[in-house]
Amino acid sequence: MLNDAWDVVVVGAGPAGATMAALLARRGRSVALIDAAHFPRQKVCGEYLSAAAWKLLETLDLDVPRSLAMPLRSLVLSASTGRNVEVAYAPDVARQPAALGRDVFDLRLVEAAQRAGATLLCGVRLRAVLRSGRRAVGVEVVDVADPSSGRELRAPLIVAADGRRSRVVQETGSFQLAHSEIVGFKRHVPVADFAAYENRIAMHAAPGCYIGVCPVAPGVVNLCGTMPKRAMQQAHGRIGAALQSLLPRATPLAPLLADSTVPLAAWHSMPEVAQQRSRHEMPGVLYIGDAMGTIEPLTGQGMTMALAGAQLAASLLHEADATTADVELQARYEGEWRRQFAGSIAAAAWFGRILRRPRLLQGLLATSRLLPGFTNALVQRAHRRTLTVET
């Protein structure tokens, strides 16, 4: 078995892991960044990046310019009755979100990590966390293409950035996992009438389900959301058919749900979208991104939290001049993390409950007809609570 030593091993090269790898490598640490996937790859995600995310990308100098992304100037909330309301984002571009496909976004971030000096190992899956007594001291990984292979990467610090249901967290800590009967899905669809989708993100609600539609590249829109597991099972796993069963017959989304043989338009799914919050229980590890905690996906805050969480973890390590994460540092990090994100997570859960109940949303949209500006004010308020993080 190959055996090598690093200052840090980062497990998972999504936005959290790649950002953390870049920040630590810039400080002269030897960093191994491992991921089971090869980049570029698709990922179930609405691909909406908040204004705070764009600010962080610039502050952290991660070389993902806004010019790569599709501008979003308004949010359309749409109930299954066909009633909808459009809320404009701030006119100032720096305070607007923008959308970028995860194939492009995640690739740019791992490239930034590599330029900073991190070593990227793709197609490599975590098999186990290595321990010495009660401390994590490395990881054992396996080549995805060769399950009989094995390699040990030793490091005084293991960063868990392996997303929801993190394997690293399962082995070294604990998490609260809310029960969920919800699955996630996503598809990129090339569209001829692109102008109809440009500059806005539309959120369509149906019973137990929401679907976000936004432009992610010229001529391409992303259709992404969550729906009840039951609907997926009843449609024998056919995502388009399951969505058609939940939406009204005359849904404006019909053209985006139709079968397609274009490889880009393949469906991607995530078997369970549950809210998760982790706790550190072993020195030598730090959890970031979804591995540390998730936020209701439909608010489009997860990637912002992934970037901001990596920044927080890297700066605490730097301030403490620490080569590892002892119990005190982990406690400080968890406290800061809660302070920064707990309010947004709670507000996002509230917004999610409204969108998954079309009757509530219909009521909201009806009120907005009688009281123009009401929904606008409410959405702006929710937006301020859920889509802002410190940068």
Q: How far is the CB of 198 from ligand FAD (least distance, A)?
A: 17
> Shortest distance, CB of residue 190 to ligand FAD, whole angstroms?
20
Q: How far is the CB of 303 from ligand FAD (least distance, A)?
A: 3
* Residue 34 falls in which region: left (phi positive, over 0), alpha (psi -120 to 50) or beta: beta
89-105 in b/e form (b: 16+ CB < 10 A) is: beeeeeebbbbbbbbbb
8 A C-beta contact, residue 358 and residue 207: yes
Residue 35 vs 334, nearer CB to ligand FAD: 35
Q: Closer to ligand FAD at the Cβ: 299 or 330?
A: 299
> What proportions of the chain, in percent to the nearest 5, are helix, strand and coil?
40, 30, 30
H or E stretch covering 22: helix 15-26
Region for residue 320 given its phi and psi (left: phi exceeds 0; alpha: psi -120 to 50; beta: otherwise): alpha
Residue number with CB closer to ligand FAD (210 or 358) = 210
| Beta carbon of residue 96, minimum distance to ligand FAD (angstroms, whole number) | 14
- Report the alpha-carbon angle 341-184-263, nearest 5: 125
User: 16 or 368, CB closer to ligand FAD?
Assistant: 16
Place of tokens 């404009």: 88
Query: What is the nearest approach in angstroms of ligand FAD to the Cβ of residue 224?
Result: 5
C-alpha span between 17 and 169 (Å, rounded):
14
Instruction: State the minimum distance, in angstroms, from the CB of residue 370 to ligand FAD.
Output: 31
Task: For the CB of residue 369, give the shortest distance to ligand FAD in the complex, in Å.
Answer: 28
DSSP 217: E
**CB-wise, 163 or 283, nearer to ligand FAD?**
163
Q: For residue 305, give the nearest of 287, 331, 321, 318 by alpha carbon.
A: 287
Q: 332: burial class by Cβ within 10 Å (0-12, 13-18, 19+)?
A: middle
CA-derived radius of gyration, the chain: 21
| Interacting residues toward ligand FAD by CB under 6 A | 11-17, 34-37, 43-48, 125-126, 161-163, 167, 184, 224, 226, 270, 273, 289-291, 297, 300-304, 306
Q: How far is the CB of 45 from ligand FAD (least distance, A)?
A: 4
Pick the closer one to ligand FAD by CB: 173 or 302: 302
Strand order in the sheet with 119-122: 119-122, 31-35, 8-11, 157-160, 285-287
Nearer residue to ligand FAD within complex by CB, 85 or 227: 227
Of the pair 11, 317, the CB lying nearest ligand FAD is at: 11
